[in-house]
């Protein structure tokens, strides 16, 4: 070490003769030509006591002089700041960058080696060269050791008309921002993969299988990606407002089986979220009046709605034993995942509904193909029985066996159809309204129009009726006469005009084999040859048992229910 500490004096040249201040005799004055030389030398020389810059030199130094005046402010910046020369060597760095690089002196080091040779991610892969060449700022991103991300902004120092030789580079730590973006992308990708099935998998998948697949995927991504361990998902029943559990992990049995409804009060946070469609962050369960215990020791919770096309279809709840365990970022992540989850739920429901619809259509097609032919078998069988009654009991017994088997064919088709397309797999809009009175109601339709007979099967059997048909009055009488006690007709619907008789005359013939006759007459408006309706009413026809074509489906159903009730109470 020299005898005296050094004070660096910045002068335009080593031969400068301008006035210098009186330094203590114990210090040595060393002249340096530029501000940047002084900064570089002071950082490298431990014997340097300080830097003296005359006011004239500061004014001539332009941007570099301003930088020196603001050195203390720059040290306090949250971002890193460096001054680079044309070779990307560090002339000066603020305190923040020293902290990020381990606190060692950076002056004289190359910029990239000082940051452990990071990977340049772009958009400009030569930002410093670009800034010097174009005299315009340039921006890029750097990745250090796959764990830290920086964004650089390089601006050239412009002095006069010459090419710039120095860059002012700001370095911002964007690690949290980049990791958040990566997590958002991963969450979205996970959400899209929740119901990512091949056509072959869909073809083989039953309703329970699809639910279990979805549950396992939700659990996997929620725990491994979102890092939530206590989870509860409930689906909203549109009709009742009930929130039915779909998945619960870490939730106590009593809480998981608790009845909750989409109501803003008395149904906990879950009911509030489902009713309002708003996410809810419960920071401390002990202080939140909405919170209902999900598991013993829970201290905070986060609940978001499952929303599809602006409609709430369920709720997604996570809980923690720590108070204030969830942040706004957690809320954002869960909301994004919940949106994708709602889409996946809907996709699977649509696929299952499509599958159920295809099954339903297949069953209906089969039924349409066999319903009327089976009716023909029934008609022929009872006609043969009429001729053999009293002649050959064995033949009559065999014909009755044929009748039972023929009727069983249609019942089996209906049962198979309900198994292939269960109600829970059919969209609510496609489900028939429940009409319990029509379930297993036996209906005989008498009309010579094949379209009417076919429609009777299609419309009434959809609600659980057992429908048989006849072409004419005599055939209808045979069907009624030869029906066994457990096969009696609850309702008989007949056209007002038949090939062999009228509706009134058929009513009279039927009264000989059953009384009362649960009859309904069909006619066009204003068409009543021989005043058949008036005579039928006089003979006992229910006053409201007339359908005027064309009638609506609900009119048909209500009339059948009315006659069925009247027969039961008789």
The reply to whether 450 and 542 lie within a common domain is yes
The reply to whether 161 and 273 lie within a common domain is no
pLDDT < 70 stretches in the chain: 1-5, 12-27, 35-76, 103, 158-162, 184, 186-211, 213-214, 223, 225-226, 347-369, 388-392, 410, 412-433, 525-530, 568, 570
The reply to whether 147 and 190 lie within a common domain is no
Number of Cβ within a 10 Å radius of residue 110: 14
CB 91 within 8 A of CB 36: yes
Q: Write out pLDDT tens, residues 410-426.
A: 676 666 555 544 444 44
The reply to whether 366 and 319 lie within a common domain is no
CATH number at residue 187: 3.30.450.40
The reply to whether 494 and 436 lie within a common domain is yes
Record the pTM. Answer: 0.45
CATH number at residue 112: 3.30.450.20
Q: Residue 33 has what pLDDT?
A: 73
The reply to whether 63 and 78 lie within a common domain is no
Q: Which residue segment(s) compose the domain that 410 sits in?
A: 355-569
- HSE-CB of 483 using CA atoms within 13 angstroms: 20
Q: Residue 428 has what pLDDT?
A: 47
- In 411-510, at which residue ranges do the beta strands (DSSP E only) sit? 442-446, 466-470, 491-495
Alpha helices in 146-288 (DSSP H): 175-193, 199-204, 207-224, 253-256, 268-276
Reference 35, options 11, 13, 19; nearest CA is 11
Q: Write out pLDDT tens, residues 370-429.
A: 777 878 888 887 887 777 656 567 777 777 777 777 777 767 666 655 554 444 444 444
**Domain-embedded: residue 116:** yes
Last residue of a domain, one of 333, 353, 373: 353
Q: Residue 249 has what pLDDT?
A: 85
**Total domain count, the chain:** 4
Q: Residue 280 has what pLDDT?
A: 93
Q: Residue 210 has what pLDDT?
A: 63
């Amino acid at each position: 070490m020299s005898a005296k500490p050094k004070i660096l004096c910045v002068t335009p040249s080593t031969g400068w003769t301008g006035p210098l201040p009186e330094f203590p005799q114990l210090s040595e004055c060393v002249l340096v030509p530029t501000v940047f030389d002084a900064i570089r030398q002071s950082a490298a020389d431990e014997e340097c006591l300080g830097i003296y810059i005359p006011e004239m030199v500061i004014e001539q130094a332009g941007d570099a002089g301003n930088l020196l005046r603001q050195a203390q402010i720059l040290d306090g910046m949250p971002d890193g700041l460096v001054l680079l020369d044309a070779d990307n060597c560090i002339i000066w760095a603020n305190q923040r960058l020293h902290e990020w690089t381990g606190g060692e002196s950076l002056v004289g080091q190359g910029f990239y080696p000082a940051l452990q040779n990071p990977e340049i991610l772009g958009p400009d892969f030569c930002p410093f060269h670009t800034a010097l060449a174009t005299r315009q700022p340039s921006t890029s991103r750097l990745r250090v050791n796959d764990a830290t991300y920086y964004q650089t902004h390089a601006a050239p120092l412009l002095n006069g008309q010459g090419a710039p030789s120095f860059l002012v580079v700001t370095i911002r730590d964007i690690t949290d921002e980049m990791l958040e973006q990566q997590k958002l992308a991963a969450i979205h990708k996970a959400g899209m993969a929740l119901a990512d099935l091949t056509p072959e998998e869909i073809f083989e998948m039953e309703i329970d299988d699809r639910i279990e697949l979805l549950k396992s995927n939700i659990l996997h991504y929620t725990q491994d990606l979102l890092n939530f361990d206590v989870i509860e998902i409930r689906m909203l029943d549109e009709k009742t407002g009930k929130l039915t559990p779909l998945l619960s992990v870490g939730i106590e049995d009593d809480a998981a089986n608790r009845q909750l409804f989409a109501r803003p009060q008395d149904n906990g946070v879950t009911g509030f979220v489902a009713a309002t469609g708003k996410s809810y962050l419960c920071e401390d369960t002990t202080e939140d009046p909405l919170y209902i215990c999900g598991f013993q020791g829970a201290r905070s919770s986060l609940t978001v709605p499952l929303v599809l096309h602006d409609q709430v279809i369920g709720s997604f709840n996570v809980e923690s034993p720590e108070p204030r365990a969830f942040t706004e970022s957690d809320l954002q992540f869960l909301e994004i995942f919940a949106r994708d989850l709602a889409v996946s739920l809907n996709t699977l429901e649509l696929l299952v509904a499509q599958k159920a619809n295809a099954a339903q259509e297949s069953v209906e097609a089969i039924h349409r193909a066999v319903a009327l032919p089976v009716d023909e078998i029934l008609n022929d069988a009872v006609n043969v029985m009429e001729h053999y009654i009293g002649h050959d009991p064995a033949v009559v017994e065999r014909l009755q066996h044929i009748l039972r088997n023929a009727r069983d064919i249609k019942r089996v088709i209906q049962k198979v159809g309900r198994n292939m397309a269960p109600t829970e797999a059919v969209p609510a809009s496609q489900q028939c309204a429940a009409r319990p009175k029509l379930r297993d109601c036996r209906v005989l339709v008498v009309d010579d129009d094949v379209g009417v007979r076919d429609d009777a099967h299609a419309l009434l059997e959809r609600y659980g009726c057992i429908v048989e048909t006849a072409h004419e009055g005599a055939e209808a009488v045979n069907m009624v006469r030869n029906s066994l006690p457990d096969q009696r007709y609850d309702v008989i619907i007949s056209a007002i005009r038949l090939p062999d008789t009228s509706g009134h005359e058929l009513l009279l013939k039927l009264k000989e084999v059953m009384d009362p006759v649960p009859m309904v007459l069909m006619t066009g408006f204003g068409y009543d040859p021989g005043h058949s309706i008036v005579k039928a009413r006089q003979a006992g026809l229910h006053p409201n048992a007339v359908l005027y074509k064309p009638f609506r489906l609900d009119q048909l159903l209500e009339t059948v229910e009315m006659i069925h009730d009247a027969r039961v109470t008789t």
